[in-house]
């Protein structure tokens, strides 16, 4: 590929967070992953990414957040790496990340950054991937990454990488709170798996049944299988969820494996009132849900 026309070109991007409108763990698969069912919903909370093509072959990551690695542990680095390999791109990519989505929160910040980096490289170079290739690269990067190729409201199956766009539901106000500690996803899965398969759990891992969190036009209760084990270890998270429900939230839940908790409100006034109960050492974000059309437009509309 000819590098000369594209050198020193830069693109600015938004990478939006997600919440999980329910999450069911079904069983542990032979490959070691867990089979899940979940609904992803993108919200307006976002990171910012600047991608610049460079004449050398290196990939570099710049981020002021010391918790964000600048090597192959970073999903943006890996997204640039797999895209370069797929397209035979011999030049380099410089990425600057401005992180707002907390790490270890269950809000999908790293996955969103990676998906948006793939989309940004396509837009930046004019070298578009076909859908199946784009999806394959996203799936290889992480379980949640493919959902961020669509945005809006998305059904996630498999380990989360099998995704199906759903009809969007009306925009709502979303209050997201993050305590001053992260939760390691792998450890949460181990704890949840042990609990769900214990003799006294009363739950069969392969029993899916009717899950009320799959309506087409209603929020319904958010049933997250991580809550029992996470709230047992960090009861303040469960208490925060209960406070939001008492404050009039249509639904409230742990997102992913945590540690962030969100609440959906019908009005900004309710959301603003509810945030007054959040401890001062917690991070608080007031956001809105994004439809698929809004999501896909706002990624590039800076």
Are 210 and 283 within one domain?
yes
Candidate list 24, 99, 113, 144, residue with the active-site label: 144
Q: pLDDT digit of tens for each residue in the chain (302 aa)?
A: 444 444 558 999 999 999 999 999 998 889 888 899 999 999 999 999 999 999 899 999 999 999 899 999 999 999 999 999 999 999 999 999 999 999 999 999 999 999 999 999 999 999 999 999 999 999 999 999 999 999 999 999 999 999 999 999 999 999 999 999 988 887 888 877 776 654 344 443 333 343 444 444 455 567 899 999 999 999 999 999 999 999 999 999 999 998 999 999 999 999 999 999 999 999 999 999 999 999 999 999 87
Between CA 25 and CA 35 the distance in angstroms is 6
Split into its structural domains, the chain has a count of 2
Q: For residues 229-250, b (16+ Cβ closer than 10 Å) or e, as one string? A: bbbeebeebbebbebbeebebb
Task: Identify the CATH number of the domain in which residue 35 sits.
Answer: 3.30.230.10
Token code pair at residue 259: 């540690």
Torsion of CA 269, 102, 105, 215, to 10 degrees: 50
In a domain, 146, yes or no: yes
Token code pair at residue 60: 């570099």
CB 28, CB 34: distance < 8 Å: yes
18 catalytic per annotation: yes
Q: For residues 174-192, b (16+ Cβ closer than 10 Å) or e, as one string? A: bbbbbbeebbebeebbebb
Q: Which domain holds residue 13?
A: 4-167
Task: Identify the CATH number of the domain in which residue 179 sits.
Answer: 3.30.70.890
Residue 8: the pLDDT is: 55
Between CA 103 and CA 33 the distance in angstroms is 21
pLDDT in tens, 160-216: 999 999 999 999 999 999 999 988 887 888 877 776 654 344 443 333 343 444 444
Are 26 and 163 within one domain?
yes
Are 211 and 125 within one domain?
no
Pairing state between β 92-98 and 59-63 = parallel
- Choose one of 147, 167, 187: the last residue of a domain: 167
Between CA 274 and CA 291 the distance in angstroms is 24
In a domain, 297, yes or no: no
């Amino acid at each position: 590929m000819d590098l000369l026309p594209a050198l020193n070109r830069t693109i600015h991007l938004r990478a939006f967070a997600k919440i999980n409108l329910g999450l069911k763990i079904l069983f542990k698969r032979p490959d070691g992953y867990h089979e899940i069912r979940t609904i992803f919903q993108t919200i307006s909370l976002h990171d910012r990414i600047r991608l610049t093509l460079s004449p050398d072959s290196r990939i570099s990551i710049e981020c002021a957040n010391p918790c964000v690695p600048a090597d192959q542990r970073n999903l943006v680095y890996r997204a640039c790496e797999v895209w370069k390999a797929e397209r035979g791109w011999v030049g380099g990519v410089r990425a600057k990340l401005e992180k707002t989505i907390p790490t270890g929160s269950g809000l999908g910040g790293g996955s969103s950054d990676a998906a948006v980096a793939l989309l940004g490289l396509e837009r930046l170079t004019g070298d578009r991937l076909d859908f199946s290739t784009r999806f394959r690269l996203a799936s290889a990067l992480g379980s949640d990454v493919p959902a961020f190729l669509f945005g809006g409201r998305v059904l996630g199956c498999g380990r989360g990488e099998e995704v199906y766009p759903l009809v969007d539901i009306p925009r709502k106000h979303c209050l997201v709170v993050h305590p001053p500690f992260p939760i390691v996803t792998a450890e949460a899965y181990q704890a949840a798996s042990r609990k769900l398969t214990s003799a006294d759990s009363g739950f069969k891992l392969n029993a899916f049944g009717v899950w009320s969190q799959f309506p087409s036009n209603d929020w319904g209760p958010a049933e997250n299988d991580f809550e029992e084990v996470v709230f047992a270890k960090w009861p303040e998270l469960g208490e925060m969820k209960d406070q939001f429900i008492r404050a009039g939230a249509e639904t409230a839940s742990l997102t992913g494996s945590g540690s962030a908790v969100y609440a959906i409100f019908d009005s900004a006034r309710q959301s603003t009132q509810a945030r007054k109960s959040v401890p001062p050492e917690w991070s608080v974000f007031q956001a809105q849900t994004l439809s698929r059309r809004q999501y896909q437009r706002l990624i590039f509309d800076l």
